[in-house]
């Protein structure tokens, strides 16, 4: 995998990873009780438009990312998958139709991950080596899933969220990259910060919309200061505050899914300061007042109106048929027998 610096620059510190779980707004587990799978085709699709918004945002800020795409989405929007790949991002698998891995038996899971891999490789024209389970659904009781991913030809997974949660969670799992027993696979858990024996989720998603941004920034900086990479994720529907509301959804599901969508929608490209870097990664440059607001020309949105996940250095182009022969550190994949940059990429470190 290639480690690609933001705007072509390679920071000296840990390599942080931006990722996007490409799915429709009605695919989420929170609405599984209200939206039947057999009705998906009758619902308005918004994933292509929303993903294009994210692509534009990343292009505007010089960010490369890993896009974990559902096979179901790739079948219906193959041109979207090609655009993701052509713009320098990595295409990885999110499974076929967003069934949590712990709801599948071993044979069903194996068929699912192979099916999605084949669909995505056909659409992207390059190898798909990464996988993320729907709803981070590789947990303690189904660790056999790692063996099936290894057998299917995946090189890494980012399917573990090492926290306690009512839908998912593997709180006993390592917080950082590990190799599951009996496999050659690398598992890259979503980022958490441990404070007083408790794990604080700081890897993005709903947590980023629901928790105060200063807390997120502090947590990510703490993880980086300890020498570790941060793995951040988001969804295309999180930049779409006008998405149709699901009727009959429980209050908790509505709160988790819809709260602060208008703030992430404000992340879309707009005229403003350029990117700069500090120890925590990349962010928009500009003078900071004691109150933490970005100053600028008249009409510049306030810091709170523009708060955003820090654009970070990330992986891109994993398994590309035209992968370069050396990584940014000069390690030759021909010498190591591994993909370009695998010797230093933070997914595989």
- Which CATH number characterizes residue 244's domain? 3.20.20.370
What confidence score (pLDDT) does residue 265 get? 65
What confidence score (pLDDT) does residue 320 get? 28
Query: Would you say residue 341 lies in a domain?
Result: no
Query: Would you say residue 345 lies in a domain?
Result: no
d(CA 246, CA 35): 8
Q: How far is CA 14 from CA 167, 252, 331, in A?
A: 30, 36, 17
What confidence score (pLDDT) does residue 184 get? 97
What confidence score (pLDDT) does residue 120 get? 98
What confidence score (pLDDT) does residue 115 get? 98
Closest of 91, 98, 95, 108 to residue 25, by C-alpha:
98
What confidence score (pLDDT) does residue 344 get? 35
pTM of the complete model beyond 0.85: no
What confidence score (pLDDT) does residue 181 get? 95
Low-confidence residues in the chain, pLDDT < 70: 1-12, 265-349
Query: Would you say residue 49 lies in a domain?
Result: yes
Q: Which two tokens stand for residue 273?
A: 């300061």
Phi-psi region of 111 (alpha: psi -120 to 50; beta: other; left: phi over 0): alpha
What confidence score (pLDDT) does residue 318 get? 32
Query: Would you say residue 165 lies in a domain?
Result: yes
d(CA 38, CA 178): 37
What confidence score (pLDDT) does residue 191 get? 95
**Dihedral of alpha carbons 32, 38, 42, 47, sign:** positive
Query: Would you say residue 348 lies in a domain?
Result: no
What confidence score (pLDDT) does residue 266 get? 62
Domain count, the chain: 1
235 alpha carbon, distance to own chain's centre: 8
Query: Would you say residue 325 lies in a domain?
Result: yes
Residue 10 dihedral angles phi and psi, to the nearest 5°: -105, 110
Q: How far is CA 35 from CA 6, 16, 27, 32, 102, in A?
A: 38, 35, 8, 5, 19
* Rg for the chain, CA atoms, rounded: 19
Query: Would you say residue 27 lies in a domain?
Result: yes
What confidence score (pLDDT) does residue 234 get? 95
Query: Would you say residue 293 lies in a domain?
Result: yes
Q: Which two tokens stand for residue 22?
A: 């490409």
What is the span of the domain harbouring residue 291?
Answer: 2-336
What confidence score (pLDDT) does residue 259 get? 87
């Amino acid at each position: 995998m290639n480690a690609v610096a933001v705007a072509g620059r390679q920071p000296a510190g840990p390599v942080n990873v931006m990722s996007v779980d490409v799915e429709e707004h009605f695919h989420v587990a929170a609405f599984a009780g209200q939206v039947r799978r057999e009705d998906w085709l009758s619902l308005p699709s918004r994933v292509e438009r929303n993903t294009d918004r994210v692509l534009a945002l990343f292009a505007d800020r010089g960010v490369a990312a890993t896009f974990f795409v559902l096979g179901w989405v790739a079948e219906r929007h193959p041109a979207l998958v090609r655009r993701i790949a052509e713009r320098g991002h990595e295409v990885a698998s999110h499974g076929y139709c967003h069934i949590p891995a712990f709801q599948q038996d071993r044979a069903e899971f194996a068929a699912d991950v192979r099916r999605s891999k084949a669909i995505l490789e056909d659409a992207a024209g390059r190898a798909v080596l990464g996988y993320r389970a729907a709803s981070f659904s590789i947990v303690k009781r189904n660790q056999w899933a790692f063996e099936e991913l290894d057998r299917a030809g995946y090189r890494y997974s980012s399917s573990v969220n090492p926290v306690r949660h009512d839908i998912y969670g593997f709180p006993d799992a390592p917080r950082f990259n590990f190799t599951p027993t009996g496999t050659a696979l690398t598992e890259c858990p979503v980022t958490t910060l441990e404070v007083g024996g408790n794990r604080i989720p700081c890897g993005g998603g709903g947590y980023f919309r629901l928790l105060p941004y200063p807390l997120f920034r502090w947590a990510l900086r703490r993880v980086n200061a300890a020498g570790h990479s941060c793995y951040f994720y988001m969804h295309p529907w999180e930049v779409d505050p006008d998405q149709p509301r699901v009727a009959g959804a429980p209050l908790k599901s509505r709160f988790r899914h819809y709260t602060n969508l208008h703030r992430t929608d404000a992340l879309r490209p707009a005229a403003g300061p350029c990117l700069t870097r500090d120890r925590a990664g990349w962010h928009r440059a500009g003078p900071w007042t004691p109150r933490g607001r970005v100053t600028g020309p008249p009409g510049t949105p306030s810091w709170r109106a523009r708060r955003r996940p820090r654009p970070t250095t990330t992986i891109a182009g994993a398994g590309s048929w035209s992968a370069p022969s050396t990584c940014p550190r000069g390690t030759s994949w021909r010498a190591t027998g591994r993909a370009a940059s695998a010797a230093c990429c933070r997914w595989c470190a």
